[in-house]
Amino acid sequence: MENHRDIINISDLPGFAQAELLDFYEFLRAKHKIGSKKALERKGDFLARFVSKPIKVHKVKRYSRDELHER
């Protein structure tokens, strides 16, 4: 007997239900961080590069309420 945790048959479902089930499956994989190690490493590399180079602002212009909501 096959292990139902590894294989399910979705061919009996209509097309829209199959798509919905696959979307939910991908959501659960992302939620529980199940995926390739390379994809997770790339995300970490991007965050590390972003944090290591902060955005520098030379001068901040403050607006009054009237300037923001002029009509």
Task: Please report, in tens digits, the pLDDT of each residue of the chain (71 residues total).
Answer: 456 567 888 889 899 889 999 888 888 888 777 655 555 555 567 777 777 887 888 888 899 998 889 87
Cβ 29 vs Cβ 35: under 8 Å: yes
Q: Which two tokens stand for residue 16?
A: 């829209």
φ/ψ of residue 6, rounded to 5: -100, -35
Q: Is 7 left (phi over 0), alpha (psi -120 to 50) or beta?
A: beta
Per-residue pLDDT at 35:
59
Q: By C-alpha distance, which of 8, 31, 28 is closest to 18?
A: 8
